Amino acid sequence: MLYKLLPDLYVPSVYDIDLDALKERGVKGIITDLDNTLIEWDRPSATPELADWLKRVEHMGFKIVVVSNNNEDRVRHFCQPLSIPFIHRARKPFRFAFKRAQQMMNLSSREVVVIGDQLLTDVLGGNRLGLYTILVVPVAETDGFFTRFNRGIERIAFYWMRKKGMLAWEEEQRR
């Protein structure tokens, strides 16, 4: 079960993702979480830095879909001004929203990555479909109620992953 929670890549933020390397891997589409992945869970719209990053993603030819467990108003308020398609109330980690986003982009599994800040929703959901998963550090120190519960489970999962030597990126960061 721990392997289903293990991301393929771990980076401090979306800004640290090597988009050129993704291109070289054949990636053409990005499924991304919204809250605490792109922006803080309580920030209504994109920061100028994030808007620039999203333009760069688009300019490089990547398709992007925001997949969020949050409600429609929240997700629409963020995505509409940026003309980004979205799926709200996604019920991650269930597969349906990930499959739907992949279909919206008309891409195969090997052409899509999932970016998120949670093991139990984003990484698990992407891994269940065999998608390449990228875990980012949450952009906010605070979380909503359910996310706080998930973070506790994540700490336990990370403990066991470390104990079993599964976190190769931690070794790379120490070098």
Nearest Cα residue to 46 out of 15, 78, 16, 87? 78
Domains of the chain: 2-174 (3.40.50.1000)
- Contact in structure between 126 and 114 (CB atoms under 8 Å): yes
- Contact in structure between 46 and 131 (CB atoms under 8 Å): no
Which tens digit of pLDDT belongs to each residue from 108-131?
999 999 999 999 999 999 999 999
Which tens digit of pLDDT belongs to each residue from 24-48?
999 999 999 999 999 998 899 999 9
Residue 108 identity (one-letter amino acid): S
Whether this prediction's pTM lies above 0.85 is answered by: yes
Which alpha helices (H) appear in 18-164, and where do they start and end? 19-24, 48-59, 72-79, 95-105, 124-128, 145-163
- Contact in structure between 73 and 104 (CB atoms under 8 Å): no
Tokens, residue 139: 């952009």
